[in-house]
Chains A and B, each alone.
Chain A
Amino acid sequence: MRPALRASRRTLLRATAAGATALAAGCSGGSRSVQVAVVWSTSELDRFRDVVRGYSPNVQVVSAGNDIDAFLRARHLAGTSPDVAILPRPGLVTEYAQRGWLSPVRGSTEYAVPAGLGELLTAEGQRYGVWVKAAHKSLVWHLPSMLPVQPANWDALVRRTQELGALARRDGGPAPLAIGAADGWVLTDWFENVLADVAPESYNTLARPDADWQSRPVRDALDRLAGLWSIKGAFVGGGRRALLTQYEESVIQVVHTKRAVMLVGADFTADVADPFQRGPEAPVTFRFPGAEPGGGPLIVGGDAAVAFADARGGVELVEWLTRADSFQPWLRAGGYLSPNTNVTIDSYRDAVGQRLAEEMRTPRTLRFDLSDQLPGAFTGSDGVGIWRIMQGFFADVTDGVRASEAIRRATGLLATAARSAGGGR
């Protein structure tokens, strides 16, 4: 009874919507723009507007800011959902799909993403979203003059941190690491990189509803992190100060004030580094080190495009966005990494972009950002979920709490948070 009822209500809604759009089309002389809601603002928003101009002048791009989830919920309640949205987390795509808000979409023939990414945007065997932008999250940034030899693996990174930390404590040299621990996502990025290296096979299982957050892999990853984070003098001003340092300030500590040597950060770190660069020396990167030399993890994040149910022209626009040359304007301007492996490496204007795109195509170790896949509030925000838990763990290990005790606390909180996020909402 209920499904039939729901179907008939949906048909009614659809009919009403069709009527309304026909009316609107009639009023506006037949041309109705496609509305796209995005998280981007300022320069990224301008770039994306350049991109969709290539599709049609009738695309209206609106910036919903970081609270795009709340924005879309409100618009849904009001019955004025946009036609297309670009979502920063795959968890949102499946959540909306399960609620029946989305319409299935298809990629163009030129759409191909690295293995493991496509499945994140499917629900009940249907594809509800496509990847349109990627972020490379396994990079360590530094100035060449500050770190002549790049650590080849994790142990080398720990040794280098110990040496530099001892120097910093003795005669006030630069600290080995800058970290924006006031922003929880910085710490989850660290955790994900280490986890992908310690236990590549259990990484993806943690995103499932039945994940065991007190399991061995989680404890091992936290133990490895504790080993590095608890080194005396590892961070600028110590752990307490690091917890008040925002991500952008940590970039400045490396590229401008030179109070720290290394920084773990995604490819978009360049956007902050550029205006604060001093002199001709630009920061360079190496891959986040794993246990084996040359075999580090690769964590990627990304933005996915979805079309809302009953949207007009939404599915077509989403399909167009997956074409290999759609994002050319943004590629030319820089600061864009494509998830589409059919975008030629030559399209990237600089060597760094080319290398990152190349790395994304090595399927061996690629993992998608774990915290972005977690359900409900567990996914994290300021003071909430896994962000808060990792900050508590960071505070513990930098404050001299024994690693085993800190790990016990953190895994207990992770398990509780996972349970309450999976059960409710």
Chain B
Amino acid sequence: MSQVRVLGELAVLDDVGPARRGRAYPAAGATSALLLPAAVLLGGLVLWPVLRTMHASVTTDGRWVGAAHFRAALATPGTGAVVGRTVLWALLVPAVVTALGYLLAAASRRSQEGGLVRLILLVPVALPLVVTGVTFRLMYDPDPSRGLATLVATRLTGRSVDDAPQLLGPGLVTVALMSAFVWAWVGLAVLVFRSALDAVPPSLADAVRAYGGGRRHVLWDAQWRPLLLRTTAVVFALVAVGTSRTFDLILVMTPGSVRDEASVLALRIWQTSGGTTTGDGAALGVVWLVAVIGGIIVAALFVRQAWPPPRVEAAPEPAPAAPPRRVFRLLAAGAAIAWLVPLAVLVATSAHGRVDAAARGWWSTTPTVESYRDVVTGTELWRTLSFTLLLATAVTATVLVVALLAAYPLAWLTGPAAQATGLLLLAASVVPIQVIAGPVNEVLGLVLSSGTAQGLALVHIALGVPFAVLVLRNAFADLPVEQVHDARLGGRRWWHTLRRLARHNLSAVVAVGVLEFVQVWNDLVVGRLFGGPGASPLGPFLAEQTRGFVSNSGALAASSVLASVLPVVLVVLSRRHLVAGLVSGGVR
């Protein structure tokens, strides 16, 4: 009976919750007005470009050609390997990140050093992926007198300097890229798992123990089945979608001669179409689009739950529980140290001048501030930083306004309409920009010239809105009845209600704001595709400098450090809001 009752908690977790429809619902006219900005943005800059790409993939100059482009694109030598590698990325990397994330989340709970461990793991999450690429390329430098990892590998394998293992060579380059990606993403998985673990009522574990369950049973019945299954699926899907960002890493980390051995669909599409709409590029794009959206919808159905989401009771303080075993705590500490090494390499390289950084390892000469002086006294970095700050602030503010307006009426939908909206928003938020770059450029051409700051901002806004709406909609729908009541009674009009609700949803708003800001700040692809002379943000600025890697390492590392300060500070300071906001909204 009790055993059943233990599992009976499950039913509570997946309960539909109290009905609370029909309050504070804006009138039809107001609803259309609220949804209009988001609809126009998504329709013009996401939906139409997707349709246009699909059209281009089956036509040549408007003439129907059937599957000819698909056949041509797939028959190009190497496409099979590229598709295979993309799939490998989408399966292997999320599996590793999820497993590591769970392990480290469990190992860093309820121990004194756990907070510090999680803080260290969080820093790479906030770094621009370009900076991650720079960091790992420095570490994997094929010359053992400069590359720390190559030096260690040479010592370990006992090979001569001329025969050093080449982590960036054709054989290992994908492994090298994956290691950088895992480094950057594990922190996020730890964050999500930790909040999921905290949400599991400890009474469950006690009950399992009381009925003679061992450690294994506790893990299975009190952690895995009630909550972690969903969380794992969510983390897996999140990381799988994230692997489409490998583009930045490949561009920065791979020398030209091994780019083919590292290539994935994102890169192949870039190489085939270069930001314009061509038949073959569009065909590859459609293949990718179908795979990404199909995958995310399968994941979403797999982890679907009742809508509106049930209210999870606040978990009682799990204070009396024992900290993890010593071996786990050591694991967590070891991971933290391993995660610090790349950061240390980046900072140490930045503390060397141009000649020192190029000629010998950072460990063999004394640090100077030469590179920082060069970078700071030049005008270029400051111009880029201030432009990016302006861009990211403007985009974040606009996305928040547009998404708050749209999320409010959407939060009151129920049943299949709500599910469908959720899936649509999810699909829109994972459309890879490379696929639709050509049509987006055409749209920008109609509205205002591409290659301008406004054009760049518009694309960022359109790409940021779907996710923001999703998170805020879920957060609104999560609000307890009393708060909705208060807001409804206190606000004379729906916008008063909206403002009050937004205030109650501070965590979700902060999470969306910080994520959007960091996303724009860290972006490379959008800047590459839609930037121009007057609109050159940080990502492309850093990536441009990686052409002369060795001869410019010092200054490159220094610019990377300076560029990373703001996103790291923002993410670290707002980490509690991020978790709360995302868990209440985004990760549903």
Contact = CB atoms under 8 A, between A and B. Distances in A.
B349 to A, nearest CB: 15
A241 B441 CA distance: 40
A181 B257 contact: yes
A252 interface: yes
A74 B258 CA distance: 29
Interface string B251-271: 000011111100100010001
Nearest to A181: B257
A63 interface: yes
Contact of B551 (A75, A238, A252): A252
A63 B533 CA distance: 6
A235 to B, nearest CB: 10
A71 B359 contact: no
A10 interface: no
Given A75-B449, A252-B359, A383-B260, A272 B544 contact: no
Interface stretch (B162-170, B479-487, B577-585): B162-170
A238 B166 CA distance: 12
A128 interface: no
Contacts of A80: 449, 451
B13 interface: no
A49 interface: no
Interface in B138-174: 142-143, 161-163, 166, 168-169
B549 interface: yes
Contacts of A247: 548
Contact of A240 (B166, B271, B274): B166
A245 B354 CA distance: 17
Contacts of B552: 248
A141 interface: no
Interface in A233-282: 237-238, 240-241, 243-249, 251-252, 256-257, 272, 275-276
How many interface residues does chain A have, given as a range? 35 or more
A162 to B, nearest CB: 18
Contacts of B143: 237
B497 interface: no
B128 interface: no
Given A182-B255, A275-B355, A248 B450 contact: no
B550 A252 contact: yes
A384 B274 CA distance: 12
B169 A382 contact: no
B445 A78 contact: yes
Given A69-B274, A70-B274, A272-B551, A78 B451 contact: yes
B371 interface: no
A246 B257 CA distance: 10
Given A383-B259, A383-B271, A276 B358 contact: yes
Given A73-B276, A243-B255, A381-B271, A256 B355 contact: yes
A65 B544 contact: yes
Interface string A181-208: 1111000000000000000000000000
Nearest to A384: B271
B58 interface: no
A77 interface: yes
Nearest to A385: B271
A225 interface: no
A64 interface: yes
B166 A241 contact: yes
A161 interface: no
Contacts of A64: 532-533
A41 interface: yes
A411 interface: no
A338 B550 CA distance: 30
Nearest to B551: A248
B14 interface: no
B275 interface: yes
Contact of A182 (B257, B380, B540): B257
Contacts of A382: 256, 259
Nearest to A169: B162
Nearest to B358: A252
A271 B74 CA distance: 43
A243 B258 contact: yes
A312 B271 CA distance: 34
Interface in A15-54: 37, 41-42
Contacts of B161: 237
A68 to B, nearest CB: 11
Given A182-B256, A384-B271, A246 B548 contact: yes
Given A70-B275, A252-B358, A387 B256 contact: yes
Contacts of B533: 37, 62-64
B257 A241 contact: no
Nearest to B445: A78
Interface in B433-452: 441-442, 444-445, 448-451
A136 interface: no
A312 B534 CA distance: 21
B257 A71 contact: no
A63 B549 CA distance: 21
A391 B532 CA distance: 32
Contacts of A181: 257
B120 to A, nearest CB: 31
Contacts of A256: 355, 358-359
Given A243-B255, A244-B255, 19 more contacts: A65-B544, A73-B275, A75-B451, A78-B448, A184-B257, A244-B169, A244-B257, A246-B547, A246-B549, A248-B551, A249-B358, A249-B549, A251-B551, A256-B359, A257-B359, A272-B551, A276-B358, A377-B271, A382-B259
23 contacts: A69-B274, A70-B274, A70-B275, A71-B532, A75-B451, A77-B445, A78-B445, A79-B449, A80-B449, A237-B161, A238-B163, A241-B162, A245-B142, A248-B549, A248-B550, A249-B549, A252-B359, A272-B551, A276-B355, A383-B263, A383-B271, A391-B257, A425-B278
Interface of A: 37, 41-42, 62-67, 69-71, 73-75, 77-80, 181-184, 237-238, 240-241, 243-249, 251-252, 256-257, 272, 275-276, 377, 381-384, 387-388, 391, 395, 425
- The 8 closest A-B CB pairs, nearest first, are A383-B259, A62-B533, A78-B445, A182-B255, A382-B256, A248-B551, A249-B550, A80-B449
